[in-house]
Structure 1
């Protein structure tokens, strides 16, 4: 492998005052918990891997399946041993490429002077497959199952570092949360890349909407979907999966330029080798960055900025909070909202535009995005990364070279200094919009998140009578029966929160609502469920907390109440709120008897213990109570 890209030797740009202020308050808020976390992982680092202290029978179990030469190495501490934790399955396009990764990674680690073992696997489910199905009720919970599976894989304590193979929605956050419990280990995430471009996203959306109107057949819809999702690799739209990839790179957990390289290409193979070699170097102490030291307050703020600038998935309003907490850092929705006010919108990737991630990559990709954000003072440059200290390394991109031994390696060269397509990617001084397109809504109905980057300005404020549903299927039935035609309304879809039924995505509602909006109706949605990276052109107040199942005000709305969703000023309210809040709740959360089949009965403990959306919607014990009520806004960070 070629050496990692060199660090920037110039003078860093002065940090934007709001980014600095948000970071400072995150540091202050997190001080006690972060210190306790660092004390824990540093103590673990001092004792080293347990294999040097295991009883003979224990150690023999740990290397029984290894080749003879690896057995000899594992008996002592001469060579670092790297754990591989994989999300491979061959049903899902994003994870199928990982089938060949373990043997390839092992060979690359051996060449770099180490050894590697597959420590364990984690589940990887697809929201695209389970959309609108009972299995979707396990989707959000799967993140914490993945975190626990990662911890189990690493719990053998045989390892000096780890490689995490994951791409999609809950998989990457789960891997990160689990690996942070072993934060003393240097760790790298190894991506698989997006599939090549298929049917344009705009055409796919058009066929979906025609099907919702009854103007396209199911065969036409399936043909369009199959032409869109057509090969191995991640789906090419900018949902949670590709938001994961961009965030991991900007957080310094991927090698520079590795996120959006297609599977099965020479560059993909070379970057996979390079990742294995680099983590082996870190395990041997070469510019080492233990994961728990790398993921600090500045890294998490950088992740928030990258999410906002790129128009990424709203799922990360929960995942970023949960990942931060795993490192002893208290991140809040208000932090995201305040950053959104000053971070410009620089990308137009579907559903925020018509381009896919391959087009974004060709236009300059993450290298240009990082460069323009650094130059604008919107990212912390002085952070640790798996490529070495300093985020300026991530303005470079990989090129294939011969490494002198007949193998193809990678070198890093200066990335683009200007966008190659201003319709897809813009510099910070010429943005698509001056803000990041994500707001926290507050008001008598609680707190919610709205993604405005794909919503045109004339649709960002809706005041209309509520139509209330306790299940998305009931809304779709009303749409099909033409009961929602010809009138303005705010669809209130409740009892969809983490504690009610696992907070399923409600993406199937988007085409129907889009049809009505296109007919000239003013429509919006308010829900304690998720709309995720597919949040589109209809204003959606999502992740409402407190959720209906836990007594939230959304459970007190009835048909006809005048509800306002204001994505411009950040307000979520209802007319005559005092009267509404005095009512008893209506409707009801699903009962235990309804959670039968598709494995849902196994997750009763999750439904009973899961936390609220604004605290990460996790089942793990939360860090001690935040220094403010989660229902009260912090003072915004002012310039």
Structure 2
């Protein structure tokens, strides 16, 4: 193993020792020693199986057949989740073929950040993750299930489902994706039209035509944002079938993979003799592998928040120093939009996760000695799924890239460091996505222009007030202030200014889209402005230095003067009402910082009364 990766792993294990012991004890206490429905009385069981078929009732009436929960994030507004409408009947048929049953235990909300970008509803986006985790717990609360299948793909949905699954750590779990849509127009063409629209060069009709040619059918969006980073992480953690994430939706292989996952979980239940609950699959090494995968593929910055929250659910404590240390020794192996022009379909054609995992294993950058849903060892994921007489067969997968413009190697990477970096200084701590930045963008020293919304910056851009070098300070966008929305609307105007030759950058306590990266963006700044962070004291004209290569972000001001400067005020009340935002007042009050996962949940043993 790489010495740095091992030292990070050891540090996580040491700091998590107390909470891990308690988490494992809770799993042991919840284990049912048989099928779980035997704990119910006859009236309880009759309620649970009342709508089922005669055949299913017969199976459940005995105490041997496994009953599997389906927790689904289906809705037909998300293209990535629309295919899930067909999954429950497919799963139920597959399980009946092996003498087991399944029930849709519950549905969880699934909002699309692509729809809510720059809208009031985006301020519910991050909070939806913890809501999904609680919905998952409610779905599984009936205690008639011996395992669970999780149907989810997109941004907050997979992290929420995983937090919920880990809270039921005594149950086996497999995640089942829907697969990406076919490729539409190129990402470079889509990005260009967005910038031309921001400049008033093309009409809204032309923009809609281009966007619709990109997002054009059922299936996951094809750029490498948070949704597809989720799928990568699930494979790195051994919770999804190998090299299966990017098999297109509505194909025979996709359906066969769903059937295989459904039947595979039966062999993981307690009564199978091969008990493999999720709480015993996932450990500290699983999360280190996930962080390495994030860096190697240039994945979404959102996971510097989500992975911390997910790990906490398993009693594991991660911090941004872990991400930074891993990034420094992890080569960037992939070039997918926004880091390049390829999409996840091109990634799969180049060999996909099989190549990435093989390269990382051979370089000693990930732990092979981990448990997965297909057996012990991450090397089980260096395979390719294929159809064999209607069933899935896994054969040896590609170990080197079929397209070196999309996937490189550990010896010849696109960069010798991963795609994310920690920035620290007198403004606080933040993360930045570096994988899409050019060498000349790694240092900028310029005056601040302070904004308290992305709309304010857009108005200044349209008024021609931003034709210069500057660093946009966009504050009061953290979790306590307004739910930490993605500030997707910043990118087109700043991209235009960058293309004109101006040196521009962003500092914010908010989030950026998982697909952002062209403009240097110090994001998730902690402490946030609402919590009294230094960003609240910055005024327009202050000089700021962003030295990305050395991991520094510095307000160039006399410290004594800065300490006595009052906090800038911001009227947040209008952001707390309408579009359901008033329902999340308690969440805004209880949520912790971005580096702590921006979550309302505590570590095992630290739960508040």
TM-score bracket for the superposition, by shorter chain length: over 0.9
Checking the alignment, whether the CA contact within 8 Å between 1:526 and 1:544 is kept in structure 2 is yes
Mapped partners of 2:277, 2:603: distance in 1: 23
Checking the alignment, whether the CA contact within 8 Å between 1:549 and 1:589 is kept in structure 2 is no
Mapped partners of 2:35, 2:135: distance in 1: 19
Which deviates more, 212-221 or 168-177?
212-221
Mapped partners of 2:563, 2:117: distance in 1: 33
Q: 1:437 aligns with which of 419, 423, 430?
A: 419
* Partner residue in 1 for 2:470: 489
* Partner residue in 2 for 1:452: 434
What TM-score do you get using the length of structure 1 for normalisation?
A: 0.93
* Partner residue in 2 for 1:359: 346
* Partner residue in 1 for 2:82: 96
In the TM superposition, 1:118-517 aligns within 5 A as 118-283=104-269, 284-285=271-272, 287-402=274-389, 408-485=390-467, 487-517=468-498
Checking the alignment, whether the CA contact within 8 Å between 1:52 and 1:75 is kept in structure 2 is no
> Shift of residue 76 of structure 1?
2.9
> Shift of residue 621 of structure 1?
2.7
> Shift of residue 588 of structure 1?
1.6
Mapped partners of 2:471, 2:272: distance in 1: 57
> Shift of residue 198 of structure 1?
0.3
Which whole-Å deviations, capped at 9, do the CAs of 1:41-81 have from their partners, x for residues lacking one? 01111455542121222121111111122222222321011
* Partner residue in 1 for 2:556: 575
> Shift of residue 594 of structure 1?
3.9
Which whole-Å deviations, capped at 9, do the CAs of 1:249-268 have from their partners, x for residues lacking one? 11100011210011110100
Mapped partners of 1:53, 1:32: distance in 2: 31
Matched, 1:71 2:53: no
Which whole-Å deviations, capped at 9, do the CAs of 1:337-374 have from their partners, x for residues lacking one? 00000000000000000000000110110011000100
Q: CA RMSD in A?
A: 1.3
Which whole-Å deviations, capped at 9, do the CAs of 1:253-292 have from their partners, x for residues lacking one? 0011210011110100100000001011112436442101
Mapped partners of 2:289, 2:34: distance in 1: 30
Q: How many residues align?
A: 605
CA 1:589 to 1:544, structure 2 compared with 1: closer, same or farther past 3 Å?
farther
In structure 1, the residue corresponding to 2:220 is in which secondary structure? Answer: coil
Checking the alignment, whether the CA contact within 8 Å between 1:562 and 1:574 is kept in structure 2 is yes
Mapped partners of 1:28, 1:215: distance in 2: 56
Matched, 1:52 2:38: yes
> Shift of residue 92 of structure 1?
1.1
In structure 2, the residue corresponding to 1:341 is in which secondary structure? Answer: helix
Checking the alignment, whether the CA contact within 8 Å between 1:288 and 1:388 is kept in structure 2 is no
In structure 2, the residue corresponding to 1:508 is in which secondary structure? Answer: helix
Checking the alignment, whether the CA contact within 8 Å between 2:35 and 2:66 is kept in structure 1 is no
